[in-house]
Homo-oligomer: A and B are copies of this chain.
């Protein structure tokens, strides 16, 4: 398998560049019988869409997805689902000036070196524009997981630069432009972003994503542990530099007596593990956090190189998000959904005939 597919039994394969005619993906392995329309995907596409708030890029894309196959009379048929989104607001001329430049902190240099060529318009394939298809595919997984098992997958911005959420109000998240769960800090966020825009700089962020009602048993040790596959999927999102499951890096200074989640007939008494033990879901909520770097597309000049090896000082023009972490929330949800869906199918493949285990701890 080359690198544009993810999953083993629920497989998403994508194509498309920032400024090409269209983006698309194929979702292979979706069980038949799922009611599915474009509207099921559009909600999350709209949440991710550029131009949806003043804090994100000014590029405007309708991001209207079309279902080209795999759905008949409103339901999935079990065959491969073709999805397409036409690019409508690509302005390639914006980018002709960077044809021979490597923007620092971007993939320009590595794509050029790897392939000996690159589509330099807006980053080409390395642009986060490609994540629209992940969101579309993830919405199918989300719907299936929700309908069949009541699994809910929700993300939020847990930190933007120095501003941390101290409240986790799930209702608040969809009310503001930041996917931020702490209403008391929205003013601070707004001020911070205004200052940031003025400065021409960008900022990092932390996004958290949680899945509830996940059945016990998902994950295929020893290499395709559920947490390993979640790490793969989340680290594969543009700009992500770190992934945590449960307590994450806080475990470095924890003692075993503090970290281990004790069990009683009522269930686990804590969730330091983040819902995964030995690489297999425990029935507790799956909790993951990711760190997103500040975009390198800023208007502050920086030293860089031309393709020919000459030193230059450059400024990134174009339309960019000052904090790419914000729009990463629906992307992280989508990737977690894809992983859970894939593992659900893998689990089923092996275990259908096993007598369902006793639901100890009230968890199944």
Count A-side interface residues using an 8 Å CB cutoff: 167
Question: Do B110 and A217 touch (CB < 8 A)?
Answer: yes
- Chain copies in complex: 4
CB closest chain-B residue, reference A220: B3
Residue of B nearest to A345 (CB): B349
Q: Are A256 and B32 in contact, CB atoms less than 8 angstroms apart?
A: no
Q: Do B235 and A243 touch (CB < 8 A)?
A: yes
Give the residue among A227, A231, A247 with the most B Cβ atoms within 10 A. Answer: A231
Chain B residue with minimal CB distance to A356? B116
**Is the C-beta of A150 less than 8 angstroms from some C-beta in chain B?**
no
Contact assessment for B2 and A14 in the assembled complex, using a CB-CB cutoff below 8 Å: no
CA–CA, A159 to B201, complex, Å? Answer: 33
Output the least CB separation between A112 and chain B (Å).
7
Cβ–Cβ < 8 Å partners of A253 in chain B: 161-162, 203-204
- Decide: A264 and B15 in contact? CB cutoff 8 A: no
Among A9, A112, A230, A245, the one with the most B-chain Cβ atoms within 10 Å of its Cβ is: A9
Contact call A81/B126, Cβ cutoff below 8 A: no
Q: Would A257 and B300 be within 8 Å (CB), given that A291-B249, A354-B116 are in contact?
A: yes
The interface stretch among A38-46, A51-59, A68-76 is: A68-76
A32: nearest residue on chain B (CB-CB)?
B115
Contacts of A247 in B (CB 8 A): 241, 293
Closest to A296 in B: B260
Q: How far in angstroms is the closest Cβ of chain B from A220?
A: 3
**Does A235 lie within 8 Å of B242, measured CB to CB?**
no
In the bound complex, how far is the Cα of B66 from the Cα of A33, in angstroms?
A: 31
State A107–B38 Cα separation when bound (angstroms): 28
**Contact status of A298 and B222, CB under 8 A, knowing A124-B79, A280-B110:** no
Does A285 sit at the interface, judged by CB under 8 A?
Answer: no
Whose C-beta in chain B lies nearest to the C-beta of A235? B231
Residues of B within 8 Å of A257, CB to CB, are 201-202, 298, 300, 302
Residue contact A115 to B256, C-beta cutoff 8 Å: no
Identify the interface centre among A82, A112, A345: most chain B CB within 10 Å of its CB.
Answer: A82
Q: Are B307 and A277 in contact (CB under 8 A)?
A: no
Whether A303 touches B264, Cβ cut-off 8 Å, given contacts A110-B278, A253-B161, A354-B31, is yes
Question: Are A20 and B68 closer than 8 Å at their CB atoms?
Answer: yes
A238: chain B residues within 8 A (beta carbon): 278
Q: Is A171 an interface residue (CB 8 A)?
A: no
What does the 1/0 interface line of A256-274 toward B look like (CB < 8 Å)? Answer: 1111111111000100111
Complex CA–CA separation, A111 to B292 (angstroms): 33
- Residues of B close to A116: CB separation below 8 A: 32-33, 351, 354-357
What 9 A-B pairs have minimum CB-CB distances, sorted nearest first? A107-B278, A3-B220, A105-B260, A15-B82, A228-B236, A202-B256, A3-B224, A232-B232, A231-B235
